[in-house]
Structure formats: C-alpha cells, structure tokens
Amino acid sequence: MSRVVSFVRQPIVVALVLIVLLLYLGEALSPGFATGGQILRLLIVASLLGIVAAGQNVVILGGREGIDLSVGGVVSLSAIIAGNVMNGADGGILPAVAACLAAGAFFGLLNGLGVTLLRIPPLVMTLGMLGVLQGLLVVIRMGIPSGQAAPALSRFVTQPLAYGIPGIIWLWIVIGILLALMLNRTVFGHRIYAIGSNEHAAYMAGVPVKLVRIALFMTSGMFAATAGLCLLGYSGTSFANVGEQYMLPSIIAVVFGGTSLAGGKGGYTGTMAGAVLLVILQSILTTINIEESGRQMVFGATLLLLMMFYGRGRAMRA
Amino acid sequence: MSKLKLSGVSKAYGATLALRRGDLELMAGEVHVLMGSNGSGKSTLCKIIAGSVRPDGGKILVDDQPVTISGPRSARAHGIGIFYQELSLAARRSVEENISLGKLPVKSRVFIDRSELRQRAARYIGLFDGVCGEGFSADTLVGNLRPDQRQLVEIMKALASEAPLLIFDEPTSALDRAQVERFFEILRDLKRRGRGIIFISHRMDEIKAIGDRVTIIRDGETITTLNLDDTDPAAVIRLMVGGAGDMPASQSSVPAVVEGKGGAALTVRDLSGRGFRNVSFEVGRGEILGFGGLHGQGQSAVLRAIFGAGSIASGEILIGDSRFDAANPRDAIRRGCAYVSGDRSRDGVISGRPIIENVTPIHYLRDRLLIARPGKLRDRVAPALESMHTKFASLFHPIGSLSGGNQQKVIIARWLIDRPDVLLLDDPTKGIDLSAKADLFALIRQLAAEGLGIVLYSSEDAELLGNANRILVFNGGSVSRELTGADRTRYNLYQAAYEAA
C-alpha cells in the first residue's frame, strides 16, 4: 500500500497523469487538440524546451543554488549565429553547429568561472550574463532580422525523419538516454550528485568541485545553443529575442520533474515529462485565447505553486 | 549565603546519561570552578543552570527558594547570566549593540535609546581599558574584530547582564596574559560585591589564580568539592582521572608495531599554520601514533593541514621519502594520504545518495575511472564494507537509512579499496555506538599490522591508551609532551593536557 502511495507521489507519475488530463481538457475545449499530428507538433515544441531544460537540469543538480538564467540569451544568440553562418545553405550547417556550440560553451565557461573563481552567486552571475547577451544581440543585429535556416535543418526539425517522427524528437530522445546514462553510470554523473548533496564532503573525497561546476555551466550553454539552432530550423528565420521565452519554463520543467532546487536530487527523465506538460499547458492557454502576458502569469504562478507543494512535502518528511 | 544550590540534578539524552547526579552549591562572593574531562557532564550542568537544557530530575534552589528554570529567559529572570563558549555575538552589529544585546535600552517603548546604549557600553569597555588591542572601539563591527577581542565583547556582554550569578564557560581561551589578568581583577571585584561566579577553565594556573573552591565532575557525577587552598593540581587531576589512573595503558591486543617493516610512513618537521605551530613528529610503518589533549588544541588543524584542507605557513611533510605538500585533498588522496573526519555530516556523508556512491569517490579518483559500472563496483565495495561488519540492506539504499556508526563505517570503507600509505583519523568515533567503535579499532589495528602509518586523534582517552603506540599531547597548538611505553597512563595524559600552555 505504502509502495503504491510512494509510486503515485513520484513527480514523474504526477506529471504523466497531468499530461493525460490536460490532453483530455484540450480535446474538450477544442476538438482536434489531441490528434496524432497535433501531438507531434506539441512534442516538437516540447523538445526545444526540453533541450534547454537539460542544461538547466544539470546546473540545478550541482547545487549551491545553481541556476542558469542566461539560457534565453544563449538560445537567441545561437539562433542568430546559426542563421548568419548557414544563410540558407545546407553546406553551412556543420560550421553553424560548430559555431553555436562554441559560443554556448564560451558563455557557459564565463558563467562557471564567475560562479567558482569569483564566487558570484549563480542567480546574479547568470542574470548579469543574460543582460550582457541581450545587449550583444541588439548590437550585432542592429534591429534588423537576419539569417536564414538551411532547408535541411528546417526539414530535420519539422518533417518526419524516421517512423513518422521528426529528427528533433529523435535528437531529444537520444539526449534523454545519454543524460540518464551520464548521471547514473559515469563518474562525472556521480560527482554532480556528490557536489549537489554535500559539496564539502565531496571536496574532502577528492572531487574537483570547481571543475565539475564549470563543466555544468558549459553543458548548459551548449544545450541552450543546440536549442537555439533547432529553433532557427523551426521558425525559418531568427527574430528578436526568440530565446527569452525559455528561461522561466526551463526552470519549471526541471522542478516539475522532481529535481530539487537545492541540488543533488532528481534526474532528467522527469524533466522531459515536465517539458511536455508545460507545452501542453501553454497550448491550451493559447487555444482559449489567453495572451502571452497571461501565459507568463500562469507559468510564474505554477512555479510558486510547485515550490509550495514540494517545500511542504520536504517539511513533512523531516 | 547560598546563591545557588543544585541537588541530584540529572539529564539523559536517549539512552546516554549525560549527567547522572549533579550536586553543587555556589556561595555569594565566591568563584567556583568546575573541572572535568571532555564529556564528563560539566557543559550539561551549565546548560541546565542557564535554562537551555531542562533536567530530568533533581532540585534547584536560587537564594534558598526552589525554582524551575524553564528556559533562557526564565534563567535571566532568576538572575543568572552566562558567557557562552561558542560565541553568541551578532557579527554585523557594533560592539556597543552587542554588549547590550540581552536587553537593549528603549525610550518611548519603541526606539533604541542611543545615548543610554553608548553610556552602558562605555562602562564595560572602560573596564578593559588598555588591554583591548588595536582597532577596538564602541562602534566597530564585531565581525571585524580579532578572536580575542570578540571574546572580550562576549565577556562584556555577560558582565552587562549585571546578573547576581554568572557562569563563564571557558572565557579565557583566546585571551592574552594581560587581558586575562584584567578579567580576573574584574572577577575579584565582583566577588567583593557578593556575586556568585561559576568558572570553567582547563588551565590549572588560572584556576589556582582565581578560584576559591572547585567541584570535580567525572563520568556525569559530581565527585567532590574542595577548597583550592587546601589542595594541589596533582590531587585535582587524580580525582578527575579516578581510581585506575596510575595503571599503565593496557593494549587491548598485541602492540601493532611490526618489527622489520621499518622506515617512516609520515614525517612532519616544524609544521606551523593556523591553529598550530612547530609541530614535528614521525609515524613509522605499522605504527599508530596518538594525538591527545583537550579539544581544539591544534590536533584537527594539523591533520587537516597535512591532508591539504587547512593552511600551512611553514614546515615540511614527507610521505615515505618523498616531499609531500598537498595543495588540496584531491592531491593528497592521489599521493596515498587518507583522512577520516569525526564530523560525518560536514566532511564525510554525501547525504541522500546511495551507500555505494558514498564508498566509491576515492576509487574513482585513484583508478582514474570514467565509467561507473554498478556490477563491477559492487564487487569492490561489498568486501570493504563487510570487513567492518557494516549492516546494510542494499548498496543502493540511501546512506541516510543507516545508523551513525554504520555511516561512519561506510565513510571509512572508502579508503579500503585502494589502500593509502598514511591514514589520518580525526576523532573518528565521535557519536557512534560501542560495537561500531570496537569494529573500527579492530580494523585500524589490522591496517597498522599491514604496514600503514596511522595518526589517531581521539577525544576519548581510553581509545588513545588502548590503541596508540605513542601519544603526543597537544596544548595550545604545539606538542607539549610525548608519552611512550609505561608512561602512557591516564594520569600523565591529563597532567600534560591540563598544565599551563
């Protein structure tokens, strides 16, 4: 009995149940909401969010109030870099991928160095970095939309690749498997959990705490850059601050998936379910004609509500 | 006239009797010294008087009236003030505010009365005029003061309570000679004014200088109260040690030194750093070297410094024949040094993670692993845990599901997969049960027999006497005495620990 209760109370189970409920709700509000094609379209959007949340997830797992608020800026920057490097030609895809990942890693490195060497709290460091990136975007674009997605990239994101499923969803699944393996079956993964659970004990057991933390921020930057690249493929061209909408949802998806904001507890599988859940919620809000501002309010309130529930759960267990 | 009288006061924490029977009578106009070794129950006794611990039984009389002290506020209402050993100051507030922290003067019911605050602070700062040291003034932030100055503020705060009954729990540990002397003058003045003072210190010279009577606590029981004029330090120590104090240490098994292995595992020459100075010693292969003395005399600081987790100002460390100066624990581990802390929750346990992940970090590092295969790791981890009879249901259960003793075994098992050359044990049995202790020491002696050099700091003298081949007694950050062979007695250990620094 208690096993059943603890199974049902697992965040991922809660998220999956909510996903089914929300699909029914969407179908009731607007018939055709939960058809196969529509669900695939939702999953494409969810995979973009999910890839950003992957980086957010590892940073949060690393503890010491780890959080990456700069992901939105990196997504936008990466979309612009990709658009300009490939400029509509398939041959430009590989250089674009390299350039995006390098940019993501670079800004992640700056975040990591600021947090470890200068001891700036992650919240402040990455918020500052977001400001820098937003300014940078204004400077390099000078307000004019620029860059075109290569046709192959657009096909990869929007058209079925195998078994009727678009490439980006396959990419997301591969990322999900790789992250699960990394967290559970590699020394690096165990070290992430160790520094997130008890940083001092990890240090005394020879874990290179600073290097691991820098690597986490770089990982986050690279995932955000990957998402920016795919986002370009999804929308065809890059426009102002496309990435901004990812900051808050990427954090909510992680928390929804059962990862503790205190670090050291959780995993990526739940986060994937959280990302799907958020995208469906967003879609329902759009269906019933709620403006972007209204959606932001709902998201913010969702995060606070989650924190209340999880906070209470922890207090009850203690 | 009796200020305070305790009779038959007791306190148990779960199954542990912290205080079996506390009898104490404090007269007006006396300085009453409490003496006892670590864990003998004197802190518990003080906490009961100060109201931060409620006794299970016994009677308390203040000014011959029976009272119940229900909490710190109630203690204050009964005229009891305390100096806390762990300083209780607000670091970001000024000296003057801290002095009056217990009872801030107010005007019109809400506003702080600044001028009264200043006058009051000036009165107590004035008492220490000339010995406060540089940079000390009423408006300095406490966080910017040196440790000895902070301790002075704590003393001023206790004095400012103007309580008729004052408790000072090791008030002089950070003070220099001139500051101590001034403080004692103030105490003598308070005595003349009929205050009652309970004083805890480990420095025999100070106790002789300021105390009138001494009450000795041993194993949770107040043994006796003596006039300090009628006694001498040796007699006091004999009482603290108890009956069998002069017996040479009995090794609970054959001495661990293995003849013929030879050579030094660890050599330390003139090591100085934060909390210790000029420490030199050598640990042979197969030897267990004990660190003794009172708490916080530099033993932990030395061990942590060797392991790369503390500061070293000067000196030299060798492991085997090669120079060893670990920049951090990672470096130290790679080069064959191991360290087990008694503070499990801070230094050891990776909370919330499975038992297996709490054992593997050292193995990962020393074998330069990248992939963690559970099956393969289990074959290495399980024997290490079983060698200490660790009780666990599954390697994949969180470490928090184990008892304290079993958690500590898990932490020690870390070091058993890839054997180090030197094992530093920093009070490793703090807060664990007797059978776990027995398992740990059996293992430690076995490791020594295998040729490891082991340094054991323990706050329990019995552990040192029963396991160490030699004991270095620390006092004020340096080694004050080395006990070998038949000199390893409880009496000698106490005497070296308590003599003036």
A103 is a domain residue: yes
Supply the pLDDT for residue A4.
65
B13 forms beta bridges with B16
CB B346: neighbour CB atoms within 10 A?
12
Question: Are B171 and B46 contacting, i.e. CB atoms less than 8 angstroms apart?
Answer: no
Q: What share of chain B has pLDDT > 70, as a percent?
A: 94
Partner-chain residue, chosen from B309, B352, B360, that has the shortest CB–CB distance to A190: B360
Supply the pLDDT for residue B244.
58
Rounded Cα distance between A6 and B397, Å, is: 15
A261 to chain B nearest CA, in Å? 14
Cβ within 8 Å of residue A184, ≥6 positions away: A267, B372
CA angle B56, B61, B63 (to 5 degrees): 160
Supply the pLDDT for residue A91.
83
Supply the pLDDT for residue B76.
86
A2 is a domain residue: no
Supply the pLDDT for residue A178.
95
- What is the full per-residue pLDDT of chain A (318 aa) written as tens digits? 466 666 666 777 878 888 888 888 888 888 888 888 888 989 999 999 999 999 999 999 998 889 999 999 999 999 888 888 888 788 888 999 999 999 999 999 999 999 999 989 999 999 999 999 988 888 877 556 677 888 888 888 888 888 888 999 999 999 999 999 999 999 999 999 999 999 999 999 989 999 999 999 999 999 999 999 999 988 887 776 778 889 888 999 998 888 888 888 889 998 999 999 889 988 888 888 788 788 888 888 887 887 777 654 443 333
Supply the pLDDT for residue B500.
56
Amino acid in the structure at residue A20: V
Partner-chain residue, chosen from B339, B351, B369, that has the shortest CB–CB distance to A204: B339
- B350/A206 CB distance under 8 A: no
- B73-83 pLDDT tens trace: 888 888 888 88
Question: SS3 for B167-179, per residue?
Answer: EEECCCCCCCHHH
- A187/B349 CB distance under 8 A: no
Chain B positions touching A189 (Cβ under 8 A) are 372
- Residues in chain B predicted with pLDDT less than 50, given as ranges, are 251-260, 501
- A142-170 pLDDT tens trace: 556 677 888 888 888 888 888 888 999 99
A41 three-state secondary structure: helix
A173 is a domain residue: yes
Q: What is the mean pLDDT of chain B?
A: 85
Q: Is the dihedral of CA B273, B278, B282, B288 positive or negative?
A: negative
A256 is a domain residue: yes
- A194/B348 CB distance under 8 A: no
A47 three-state secondary structure: helix
- A271-280 pLDDT tens trace: 999 999 889 9
- B351/A203 CB distance under 8 A: no
Supply the pLDDT for residue A153.
87
Rounded Cα distance between B408 and B414, Å, is: 10
Cβ contacts from A onto B, under 8 A: 80
A44 is a domain residue: yes
* End-to-end Cα, chain B, rounded Å: 35
Chain B positions touching A202 (Cβ under 8 A) are 350, 361
A194 to chain B nearest CA, in Å? 6
Supply the pLDDT for residue B86.
66
Supply the pLDDT for residue B87.
66
Amino acid in the structure at residue B191: K
What CATH code is carried by the domain that includes residue A105?
1.10.3470
Partner-chain residue, chosen from A187, A205, A264, that has the shortest CB–CB distance to B369: A187
A315 is a domain residue: no
Chain B positions touching A264 (Cβ under 8 A) are 351-353
Cβ within 8 Å of residue A150, ≥6 positions away: A86, A88, A89, A90, A91, A92, A93, A96, A233
CA–chain centroid gap for B500, Å, is 18
Rounded Cα distance between B44 and B169, Å, is: 11
Supply the pLDDT for residue B291.
93
Chain B positions touching A185 (Cβ under 8 A) are 371-374
Question: Are A277 and A22 contacting, i.e. CB atoms less than 8 angstroms apart?
Answer: yes
Supply the pLDDT for residue A106.
96
Does ipTM surpass 0.85 in this model?
no
- B347/A200 CB distance under 8 A: yes
Instruction: Provide the domain count of chain A.
Output: 1
Cβ within 8 Å of residue A261, ≥6 positions away: A60, A65, A67, A255, A307
- A203/B329 CB distance under 8 A: yes
Question: Are A59 and A273 contacting, i.e. CB atoms less than 8 angstroms apart?
Answer: no
Supply the pLDDT for residue A316.
37
Which domain covers residue A199, as residue numbers? 11-21+34-307
B416 three-state secondary structure: helix
A282 is a domain residue: yes
Largest CA-CA distance found in chain B, in angstroms, rounded: 81
- B414/A205 CB distance under 8 A: yes
Question: Are B422 and B337 contacting, i.e. CB atoms less than 8 angstroms apart?
Answer: yes
Domains and CATH numbers, chain B: 2-246 (3.40.50.300), 264-498 (3.40.50.300)
A220 is a domain residue: yes
- B361/A202 CB distance under 8 A: yes
CA distances from B406 to A104, B341, B381, B429, B437 (A): 44, 14, 14, 11, 10
Helix spans in chain A (H): 2-8, 11-29, 36-61, 71-86, 93-116, 122-141, 151-158, 167-185, 187-197, 199-204, 209-235, 247-256, 268-287, 292-317
The model carries a pTM of 0.80
Supply the pLDDT for residue A282.
86
- B39-67 pLDDT tens trace: 778 888 888 898 888 888 889 988 888 88
